[in-house]
Homo-oligomer: A and B are copies of this chain.
Amino acid sequence: MDGAASAPVAIIAGSGALPLEVANSATRAGRQVFMALLSGSADPAHYAGFEYAEFGLGQLGALLKSLRQRGIVEASLIGGVVRPGLADIKPDFGLVRHWAELAQAFRKGDDGLLSGIIAILENQGIKVVSALAIAPDLAVTVAGPVTTRHPTREALEEIALGLKLMAALSPFDVGQCVVVSDGRPVAIEGAEGTDAMLQRVADMRRTGRLKRESGGGVLVKAPKIGQNMRIDIPAIGPQTVRNAADAGLQGIAIAREQVLLADRAATIALADRLGLFIEATP
Protein backbone atom coordinates (compact mmCIF):
# COMPACT_ATOMS: atom_id res chain seq x y z
CA MET A 1 0.00 0.00 0.00
CA ASP A 2 1.54 3.32 -1.05
CA GLY A 3 1.12 6.67 0.65
CA ALA A 4 -1.67 7.95 -1.62
CA ALA A 5 -3.69 4.77 -1.34
CA SER A 6 -3.61 4.84 2.45
CA ALA A 7 -4.14 8.61 2.85
CA PRO A 8 -7.42 9.57 4.51
CA VAL A 9 -10.23 10.72 2.27
CA ALA A 10 -13.53 12.52 2.95
CA ILE A 11 -16.69 11.31 1.31
CA ILE A 12 -19.22 14.15 1.16
CA ALA A 13 -22.36 12.09 1.21
CA GLY A 14 -25.90 12.80 0.00
CA SER A 15 -28.86 10.45 0.02
CA GLY A 16 -29.12 6.85 -1.18
CA ALA A 17 -26.99 3.75 -0.79
CA LEU A 18 -24.15 4.87 -3.05
CA PRO A 19 -22.12 6.78 -0.45
CA LEU A 20 -21.92 3.64 1.70
CA GLU A 21 -20.90 1.53 -1.30
CA VAL A 22 -18.18 4.04 -2.14
CA ALA A 23 -17.06 4.12 1.50
CA ASN A 24 -16.83 0.31 1.63
CA SER A 25 -15.01 0.15 -1.70
CA ALA A 26 -12.54 2.86 -0.62
CA THR A 27 -11.97 0.96 2.62
CA ARG A 28 -11.30 -2.23 0.60
CA ALA A 29 -8.77 -0.17 -1.38
CA GLY A 30 -7.00 0.65 1.88
CA ARG A 31 -8.24 4.20 2.40
CA GLN A 32 -9.12 5.68 5.78
CA VAL A 33 -12.58 7.20 5.28
CA PHE A 34 -14.25 10.21 6.91
CA MET A 35 -17.94 10.61 6.10
CA ALA A 36 -19.13 14.24 5.76
CA LEU A 37 -22.90 13.70 5.78
CA LEU A 38 -25.17 16.33 4.25
CA SER A 39 -27.91 17.04 6.81
CA GLY A 40 -31.32 15.95 5.65
CA SER A 41 -29.88 13.96 2.74
CA ALA A 42 -27.57 11.31 4.28
CA ASP A 43 -28.88 9.19 7.16
CA PRO A 44 -26.26 8.93 9.95
CA ALA A 45 -27.68 5.51 10.95
CA HIS A 46 -26.15 4.03 7.77
CA TYR A 47 -22.65 5.14 8.67
CA ALA A 48 -22.28 3.74 12.19
CA GLY A 49 -19.20 1.80 11.04
CA PHE A 50 -17.42 4.98 9.91
CA GLU A 51 -16.14 8.16 11.45
CA TYR A 52 -18.68 10.82 10.42
CA ALA A 53 -20.05 14.30 11.03
CA GLU A 54 -23.08 16.16 9.66
CA PHE A 55 -23.03 19.44 7.74
CA GLY A 56 -25.76 21.68 6.30
CA LEU A 57 -25.48 22.72 2.65
CA GLY A 58 -24.30 26.15 3.75
CA GLN A 59 -21.71 24.95 6.28
CA LEU A 60 -18.76 24.88 3.95
CA GLY A 61 -16.75 26.71 6.61
CA ALA A 62 -17.36 24.06 9.27
CA LEU A 63 -16.66 21.29 6.75
CA LEU A 64 -13.30 22.78 5.74
CA LYS A 65 -12.31 23.17 9.38
CA SER A 66 -13.27 19.56 10.10
CA LEU A 67 -11.18 18.28 7.16
CA ARG A 68 -8.17 20.34 8.21
CA GLN A 69 -8.37 19.01 11.79
CA ARG A 70 -8.17 15.47 10.40
CA GLY A 71 -5.35 16.25 7.95
CA ILE A 72 -7.61 15.36 5.03
CA VAL A 73 -6.70 16.93 1.67
CA GLU A 74 -8.78 14.76 -0.66
CA ALA A 75 -12.57 14.51 -0.94
CA SER A 76 -15.26 13.10 -3.15
CA LEU A 77 -18.96 14.03 -3.51
CA ILE A 78 -21.48 11.22 -3.92
CA GLY A 79 -25.18 10.61 -3.40
CA GLY A 80 -28.34 12.53 -4.13
CA VAL A 81 -29.05 16.10 -3.18
CA VAL A 82 -32.24 17.78 -4.34
CA ARG A 83 -31.05 20.99 -5.96
CA PRO A 84 -31.87 23.54 -3.28
CA GLY A 85 -33.37 26.94 -3.77
CA LEU A 86 -30.71 29.58 -3.21
CA ALA A 87 -32.86 30.80 -0.33
CA ASP A 88 -32.65 27.34 1.30
CA ILE A 89 -28.89 27.54 1.74
CA LYS A 90 -28.03 29.03 5.12
CA PRO A 91 -24.47 30.25 4.71
CA ASP A 92 -22.04 29.87 7.62
CA PHE A 93 -19.08 32.17 8.12
CA GLY A 94 -16.86 30.16 5.79
CA LEU A 95 -19.36 30.26 2.95
CA VAL A 96 -20.39 33.91 3.25
CA ARG A 97 -17.08 34.98 1.78
CA HIS A 98 -17.88 32.96 -1.35
CA TRP A 99 -21.54 33.88 -1.59
CA ALA A 100 -21.44 36.00 -4.76
CA GLU A 101 -19.36 33.31 -6.47
CA LEU A 102 -21.86 30.64 -5.46
CA ALA A 103 -24.94 32.67 -6.41
CA GLN A 104 -23.46 33.17 -9.87
CA ALA A 105 -22.66 29.46 -10.20
CA PHE A 106 -26.18 28.66 -9.11
CA ARG A 107 -27.70 30.30 -12.18
CA LYS A 108 -25.71 27.88 -14.36
CA GLY A 109 -27.63 24.78 -13.26
CA ASP A 110 -26.63 21.74 -11.25
CA ASP A 111 -23.18 21.47 -12.74
CA GLY A 112 -22.58 25.16 -12.25
CA LEU A 113 -23.61 25.02 -8.60
CA LEU A 114 -21.51 21.97 -7.74
CA SER A 115 -18.59 23.26 -9.80
CA GLY A 116 -18.76 26.39 -7.68
CA ILE A 117 -18.65 24.36 -4.46
CA ILE A 118 -15.75 22.26 -5.78
CA ALA A 119 -13.87 25.41 -6.82
CA ILE A 120 -14.25 26.79 -3.29
CA LEU A 121 -13.04 23.50 -1.74
CA GLU A 122 -10.07 23.32 -4.11
CA ASN A 123 -9.14 26.96 -3.42
CA GLN A 124 -8.93 25.91 0.22
CA GLY A 125 -6.49 23.09 -0.60
CA ILE A 126 -8.91 20.16 -0.79
CA LYS A 127 -8.43 18.06 -3.94
CA VAL A 128 -11.83 16.87 -5.15
CA VAL A 129 -11.84 13.57 -7.08
CA SER A 130 -14.44 11.36 -8.72
CA ALA A 131 -15.94 8.68 -6.47
CA LEU A 132 -14.77 6.14 -9.06
CA ALA A 133 -11.20 7.31 -8.42
CA ILE A 134 -11.42 6.20 -4.79
CA ALA A 135 -13.75 3.24 -5.47
CA PRO A 136 -12.64 1.89 -8.85
CA ASP A 137 -14.16 -1.56 -8.33
CA LEU A 138 -17.66 -0.03 -8.66
CA ALA A 139 -17.38 0.48 -12.45
CA VAL A 140 -17.34 -2.06 -15.30
CA THR A 141 -13.89 -2.01 -16.84
CA VAL A 142 -14.28 -4.42 -19.77
CA ALA A 143 -16.50 -3.70 -22.80
CA GLY A 144 -19.26 -6.20 -23.50
CA PRO A 145 -22.11 -7.79 -21.61
CA VAL A 146 -21.89 -8.60 -17.89
CA THR A 147 -25.15 -10.56 -18.06
CA THR A 148 -26.15 -13.91 -19.52
CA ARG A 149 -28.16 -12.16 -22.21
CA HIS A 150 -26.26 -10.31 -24.94
CA PRO A 151 -27.65 -7.41 -27.01
CA THR A 152 -28.98 -8.26 -30.47
CA ARG A 153 -27.57 -6.52 -33.54
CA GLU A 154 -30.68 -4.29 -33.53
CA ALA A 155 -30.04 -3.36 -29.88
CA LEU A 156 -26.40 -2.54 -30.69
CA GLU A 157 -27.64 -0.14 -33.40
CA GLU A 158 -30.04 1.46 -30.94
CA ILE A 159 -27.19 1.84 -28.43
CA ALA A 160 -25.08 3.57 -31.09
CA LEU A 161 -27.97 5.95 -31.89
CA GLY A 162 -28.47 6.72 -28.19
CA LEU A 163 -24.79 7.52 -27.73
CA LYS A 164 -24.91 9.83 -30.77
CA LEU A 165 -27.94 11.64 -29.40
CA MET A 166 -26.30 12.11 -26.02
CA ALA A 167 -23.17 13.44 -27.69
CA ALA A 168 -25.38 16.05 -29.41
CA LEU A 169 -26.85 17.01 -26.03
CA SER A 170 -23.40 17.26 -24.40
CA PRO A 171 -23.11 21.06 -24.59
CA PHE A 172 -26.28 21.39 -22.47
CA ASP A 173 -26.70 20.81 -18.73
CA VAL A 174 -29.29 18.09 -19.14
CA GLY A 175 -29.88 14.35 -18.54
CA GLN A 176 -27.48 11.53 -19.11
CA CYS A 177 -29.77 8.96 -20.57
CA VAL A 178 -32.10 8.18 -23.36
CA VAL A 179 -34.39 5.32 -24.36
CA VAL A 180 -34.23 4.17 -27.98
CA SER A 181 -36.93 1.80 -29.16
CA ASP A 182 -37.76 0.54 -32.65
CA GLY A 183 -34.84 2.52 -33.95
CA ARG A 184 -35.88 5.95 -32.65
CA PRO A 185 -35.37 7.94 -29.45
CA VAL A 186 -38.59 7.85 -27.42
CA ALA A 187 -37.54 9.43 -24.12
CA ILE A 188 -34.82 11.87 -23.14
CA GLU A 189 -34.00 12.50 -19.51
CA GLY A 190 -34.45 16.01 -18.19
CA ALA A 191 -34.67 17.13 -14.57
CA GLU A 192 -37.04 14.24 -13.76
CA GLY A 193 -34.26 11.63 -13.48
CA THR A 194 -33.81 8.15 -14.90
CA ASP A 195 -36.45 6.35 -12.82
CA ALA A 196 -39.21 8.80 -13.77
CA MET A 197 -38.13 8.66 -17.40
CA LEU A 198 -38.37 4.85 -17.46
CA GLN A 199 -41.74 5.08 -15.72
CA ARG A 200 -42.88 7.34 -18.57
CA VAL A 201 -41.82 4.74 -21.14
CA ALA A 202 -43.69 2.04 -19.20
CA ASP A 203 -46.80 4.28 -19.14
CA MET A 204 -46.56 4.92 -22.89
CA ARG A 205 -46.40 1.14 -23.47
CA ARG A 206 -49.44 0.59 -21.29
CA THR A 207 -51.56 3.27 -22.95
CA GLY A 208 -50.51 2.11 -26.40
CA ARG A 209 -48.85 5.43 -27.24
CA LEU A 210 -45.68 3.45 -27.74
CA LYS A 211 -46.01 0.19 -29.61
CA ARG A 212 -43.39 -2.51 -29.46
CA GLU A 213 -42.45 -3.67 -32.93
CA SER A 214 -39.20 -5.42 -32.28
CA GLY A 215 -36.68 -6.14 -29.53
CA GLY A 216 -38.13 -3.73 -27.01
CA GLY A 217 -35.52 -1.02 -27.03
CA VAL A 218 -32.61 -0.04 -24.85
CA LEU A 219 -31.73 2.38 -22.07
CA VAL A 220 -28.45 4.11 -22.82
CA LYS A 221 -26.61 5.73 -19.94
CA ALA A 222 -23.35 7.58 -20.29
CA PRO A 223 -21.69 10.75 -19.07
CA LYS A 224 -21.73 13.78 -21.33
CA ILE A 225 -18.60 14.35 -23.40
CA GLY A 226 -16.39 16.33 -21.05
CA GLN A 227 -18.68 15.65 -18.08
CA ASN A 228 -17.13 16.51 -14.77
CA MET A 229 -17.12 13.09 -13.11
CA ARG A 230 -16.26 14.73 -9.80
CA ILE A 231 -19.70 16.29 -9.80
CA ASP A 232 -21.97 13.66 -11.17
CA ILE A 233 -21.31 10.00 -11.91
CA PRO A 234 -24.00 8.22 -13.90
CA ALA A 235 -25.12 5.12 -12.01
CA ILE A 236 -27.44 2.18 -12.43
CA GLY A 237 -28.63 -0.38 -9.89
CA PRO A 238 -31.39 -2.93 -9.21
CA GLN A 239 -34.10 -0.24 -9.42
CA THR A 240 -32.88 0.76 -12.88
CA VAL A 241 -33.07 -2.86 -14.01
CA ARG A 242 -36.56 -3.27 -12.57
CA ASN A 243 -37.76 -0.05 -14.22
CA ALA A 244 -36.15 -0.99 -17.54
CA ALA A 245 -37.97 -4.33 -17.41
CA ASP A 246 -41.27 -2.56 -16.64
CA ALA A 247 -40.66 -0.35 -19.65
CA GLY A 248 -40.36 -3.49 -21.79
CA LEU A 249 -36.73 -2.84 -22.69
CA GLN A 250 -34.32 -5.46 -23.95
CA GLY A 251 -31.44 -4.15 -21.91
CA ILE A 252 -29.22 -1.38 -20.59
CA ALA A 253 -26.04 0.02 -22.07
CA ILE A 254 -23.56 1.78 -19.80
CA ALA A 255 -20.36 3.54 -20.69
CA ARG A 256 -17.34 1.45 -19.69
CA GLU A 257 -15.39 2.85 -16.68
CA GLN A 258 -17.75 5.84 -16.50
CA VAL A 259 -20.95 4.48 -15.01
CA LEU A 260 -21.20 3.23 -11.47
CA LEU A 261 -22.79 -0.22 -11.28
CA ALA A 262 -24.38 -0.08 -7.82
CA ASP A 263 -25.05 -3.23 -5.82
CA ARG A 264 -23.29 -5.12 -8.57
CA ALA A 265 -24.05 -8.76 -7.75
CA ALA A 266 -27.73 -8.06 -7.06
CA THR A 267 -28.09 -5.86 -10.15
CA ILE A 268 -26.62 -8.46 -12.51
CA ALA A 269 -28.57 -11.30 -10.86
CA LEU A 270 -31.81 -9.35 -11.27
CA ALA A 271 -31.06 -8.55 -14.93
CA ASP A 272 -30.37 -12.26 -15.52
CA ARG A 273 -33.60 -13.23 -13.83
CA LEU A 274 -35.64 -10.67 -15.82
CA GLY A 275 -33.87 -11.54 -19.09
CA LEU A 276 -32.24 -8.13 -19.66
CA PHE A 277 -28.73 -7.48 -20.83
CA ILE A 278 -26.32 -5.00 -19.29
CA GLU A 279 -23.70 -4.05 -21.86
CA ALA A 280 -20.61 -1.93 -21.24
CA THR A 281 -19.94 0.17 -24.35
CA PRO A 282 -16.35 0.37 -25.62
Residues of A within 8 A of B (CB): 82-86, 88, 106-110, 161, 164-165, 168-169, 171-175, 179, 182-193, 196, 200, 204, 208-213
- Nearest-CB residue, chain B, relative to A200: B192
Q: Which of B86, B190, B191, B213 contacts A213 (CB 8 A)?
A: B86
Nearest-neighbour CB distance to chain B for A141, whole angstroms, equals 30
Q: Which of B84, B189, B200, B212 contacts A211 (CB 8 A)?
A: B84
Counting chain B CB atoms within 10 Å of each CB, the highest count among A188, A193, A196, A200 belongs to A188
Q: Are A188 and B174 in contact (CB under 8 A)?
A: yes
Q: Which residues of B contact A209 (CB under 8 A)?
A: 82, 191-193
A182 to B175, alpha carbons, bound, how many Å?
A: 16
Q: Which of B109, B171, B172, B186 contacts A190 (CB 8 A)?
A: B186
A72 to B238, alpha carbons, bound, how many Å?
A: 58
Q: Which of B164, B175, B204 contacts A192 (CB 8 A)?
A: B204
Q: Are B184 and A173 in contact (CB under 8 A)?
A: yes
A168 to B185, alpha carbons, bound, how many Å?
A: 14
Q: Are B200 and A185 in contact (CB under 8 A)?
A: no
Q: Which residues of B contact A85 (CB under 8 A)?
A: 211-213
Give 28 A-B contacts (CB < 8 Å), ordered by A residue.
A82-B208, A82-B209, A85-B211, A86-B213, A107-B182, A109-B182, A109-B183, A110-B184, A164-B172, A165-B169, A165-B172, A168-B168, A169-B169, A173-B184, A174-B185, A174-B186, A179-B190, A185-B190, A186-B191, A188-B188, A188-B189, A188-B190, A190-B200, A191-B204, A191-B209, A191-B210, A192-B200, A200-B200
